[in-house]
Structure 1
Amino acid sequence: MILKQNDASDSGAGKALLAPPAPLQDSWGRVHRSLRISVTDVCNIRCQYCMPETGVQFTAPDRLLSYDQIVRFVEVAAAAGIQKVRITGGEPLTRPGLEQLIARLAEIEGIQDIAMTTNGMLLPKQLPALVAAGLQRLNISLDTLSAETFKLISRRDGLQQVLEGIDAACQVPSLGLKINSLVLRDLNLQDVLELVRFARERSIVIRFIEFMPLDGGRTWSDARMVSGAELRELISTHVGALRPVGPRDLTQPAQEFEFENGPGRVGFIDSVSAPFCSGCDRLRLTAEGKLRNCLFGKEEWDVAPWLSTETFDAQQIRKLMQDCVRAKYQAHGIGTPGFTPPERAMYQIGG
């Protein structure tokens, strides 16, 4: 069901979307066109940079937004200018029936791109249905090719399942596949070159992400973080010289480079040392229905009360979206006096 701007239709929309909404533009001129939706905070591994090893309390299933509620929100968001949706978690593939949600999102007028971020462990069996439903792009997390290091980082076994997920995705030429790698100086810096060669052999873009203060165990430090500049130098020296790929799209977190000595691309998400805040066009919806304007934001706007069949109110949701966008800071502030990490860890916000 597609909810058009002048059609309350029969989705439970108590109030129609009337006049075209104002753009989702913040105080710094950034127009927001991307939405990241966490469908669960549950995950089947426990990566050090994302969540604590023990004592994790996941959101009760009855507190998660239903797929109906997510679709209602995206209908309102699309009418307000959102064009891209990325499904995240936790591990999104732990939630049953995800292909049904993707199929419904693909039908919403204005949504041009549907992507997902996953650890890939549950991917092989689900991928055909996800692609058939309308999944267009996929990011798979892979931080090492060593089973021992994988277990140190994720505190679980599972490297072989991740590799099988990558192999399955490689069999779908239409799928925009990328590998995400987060480098911790004390754990997997030695694996970077092998990861680059692995991705290059398979014609996959690999992106290296700086360690951010979003880990549930609060172990982040400058000493553990490896900057994108250091990784570029390492790869250029030992694999091949790199050159930027065209002008940078400032709405995207990664700056991509290509090898001068042959095929292959590497991206760097320098979230700490050189953040892309100036072009950020993202909003985030947590699994229980809280809207956030930044990973590091302190405020949340609760849209869940307005998303049930009985209480649906498009105008109220739109107002909360506008309030959220207008409250967005110019930058996340890491490294500035007074910066404190958010209370939520990455898995609770949505990666």
Structure 2
Amino acid sequence: MNLIKISYLLESEKKFPKMAISSNPTQDTQGLAGRKLVDRYNRNLNYMRISITDRCNLACIYCVPQKLIKKLPHEEILRYEEILRIVKLGVGLGIKKIRITGGEPLLRKGVYDFLAELVRIDGLCDVSLTTNGVFLAETVDKVLTAGIRRLNISLDTLNPNKFRYITGEDRLDAVWRGIQAAHQNGIHPIKINVVVLKGINDDELVDIARLSFSYPFHIRFIEYMPIGRTRKTIGEPILVPEIRNLLRPLGPLLPVENKIYDGPAERYRWEGAAGEIGFISA
């Protein structure tokens, strides 16, 4: 899976004036037939990740730096129409998979109508949503109505005190209710993203991984990648080989074959488990 990232902002209104939205749905993609997006290694790019907002209702210690990031003014944020135009252009160049992220995307006004329009774009094979899950229990019906069937949900701990320490908010119950609501409403796969933090949550990786025995979740253990100065001290990153070693008490891992539009995770499962786990290097 090769990825291209699209920002939610225009760097400067003077430098990059707002795009004119074509009234002809085929006009933007004329002349793209047969052309593909390729990187410098001549690999075709087929996966686009789009951040639609820089706002978030949590402040995770590995995400929000010590000096809080200044929020962008509304006029510097791409309109939904502009994002949809970019996606259509991307599809014309070989993009097949889209993931919507933030910030927290469910905070942005009009997001459900936008998702519904996005899912309807011809040529896309996979549209997924990344969320922290706080609002999901109350909004899962809207997510489903919009056509989203794949979710990535952040969950770094099962301990309420640690959750408050990591995110700055006491919302673990809300996140778990959101995960349960998504599961009960048939969303699949539900990917649980776990950033492994030395001295914080590395003592409960077995408990988190054990969820895959009872639920068909895809649990992804992600190496912590230091970015800037964080608000709290985080130890040196725990790399994938050590994460795997910490999970040895659960038994031998069985490899799971990656499919054409899968992400970067190395996939595994335990015998008899309903779900699977994966490892993502920084």
Q: Give the equivalent residue in structure 2 for 1:161.
A: 174
* Alpha-carbon distance between aligned partners in 1 of 2:195 and 2:77, rounded to the nearest angstrom: 28
* Alpha-carbon distance between aligned partners in 2 of 1:215 and 1:155, rounded to the nearest angstrom: 19
Contact map agreement 2:217 2:274 (CA 8 A) in 1: no
Paired positions, count: 262
* Alpha-carbon distance between aligned partners in 1 of 2:123 and 2:28, rounded to the nearest angstrom: 20
Q: In the TM superposition, what whole-angstrom CA distance separates every residue of 1:18-72 from its partner, at most 9, and x where no partner exists?
A: 2515211122121000000101011111111111255332112222111111111
* Displacement of 1:218: 8.2
- Residues 250 and 94 (structure 1), Cα distance of their counterparts in 2 relative to 1, 3 Å cut: closer
Query: Relative contact order: is structure 1 or structure 2 higher (C-alpha 8 Å, sep ≥ 6)?
Result: 1
Runs of 4+ aligned residues of structure 1 deviating over 4 Å after TM superposition are 11-16, 218-221, 247-251
SS in 1 for 2:91: helix
What pairs with 1:127-142 in structure 2 (closer than 5 Å)?
Answer: 127-142=140-155
* Displacement of 1:246: 2.8
Is 1:55 the counterpart of 2:55? The answer is no
Is 1:259 the counterpart of 2:270? The answer is yes
Contact map agreement 1:186 1:224 (CA 8 A) in 2: no
What pairs with 1:12-31 in structure 2 (closer than 5 Å)?
Answer: 17-31=30-44
SS in 2 for 1:68: helix
Q: Give the equivalent residue in structure 2 for 1:282.
A: none
Q: In the TM superposition, what whole-angstrom CA distance separates every residue of 1:277-300 from its partner, at most 9, and x where no partner exists?
A: xxxxxxxxxxxxxxxxxxxxxxxx
SS in 1 for 2:36: coil
Q: In the TM superposition, what whole-angstrom CA distance separates every residue of 1:293-333 from its partner, at most 9, and x where no partner exists?
A: xxxxxxxxxxxxxxxxxxxxxxxxxxxxxxxxxxxxxxxxx
Pick one of 218, 222, 232 that aligns with 1:205.
218
* Alpha-carbon distance between aligned partners in 2 of 1:77 and 1:125, rounded to the nearest angstrom: 32
Q: Give the equivalent residue in structure 2 for 1:229.
A: 241
* Alpha-carbon distance between aligned partners in 2 of 1:96 and 1:152, rounded to the nearest angstrom: 28
Letter in 2 for 1:232: R
Q: Give the equivalent residue in structure 2 for 1:46.
A: 59
* Alpha-carbon distance between aligned partners in 1 of 2:59 and 2:166, rounded to the nearest angstrom: 8
Q: In the TM superposition, what whole-angstrom CA distance separates every residue of 1:215-242 from its partner, at most 9, and x where no partner exists?
A: 5628797x42111111112212x22211
What pairs with 1:1-351 in structure 2 (closer than 5 Å)?
Answer: 10-11=23-24, 17-52=30-65, 55-214=68-227, 217=230, 223-236=235-248, 238-246=249-257, 252-260=263-271, 262-271=273-282
* Displacement of 1:260: 3.1
Contact map agreement 1:240 1:261 (CA 8 A) in 2: no
* Displacement of 1:200: 2.7
- Residues 89 and 220 (structure 1), Cα distance of their counterparts in 2 relative to 1, 3 Å cut: farther
* Alpha-carbon distance between aligned partners in 2 of 1:216 and 1:41, rounded to the nearest angstrom: 18
Contact map agreement 1:24 1:80 (CA 8 A) in 2: yes
Letter in 2 for 1:125: E
* Alpha-carbon distance between aligned partners in 2 of 1:215 and 1:158, rounded to the nearest angstrom: 26
* Displacement of 1:14: 7.2
Which segments of 5 or more consecutive residues in structure 2 lack a partner in the other structure?
1-20
SS in 2 for 1:145: coil
* Alpha-carbon distance between aligned partners in 2 of 1:35 and 1:141, rounded to the nearest angstrom: 19
Contact map agreement 1:211 1:220 (CA 8 A) in 2: no
Q: In the TM superposition, what whole-angstrom CA distance separates every residue of 1:67-123 from its partner, at most 9, and x where no partner exists?
A: 111111111111111111000011111112211111111121211110011100011
* Alpha-carbon distance between aligned partners in 2 of 1:220 and 1:110, rounded to the nearest angstrom: 45
* Alpha-carbon distance between aligned partners in 2 of 1:245 and 1:38, rounded to the nearest angstrom: 29
Contact map agreement 1:254 1:269 (CA 8 A) in 2: yes
- Residues 101 and 242 (structure 1), Cα distance of their counterparts in 2 relative to 1, 3 Å cut: same
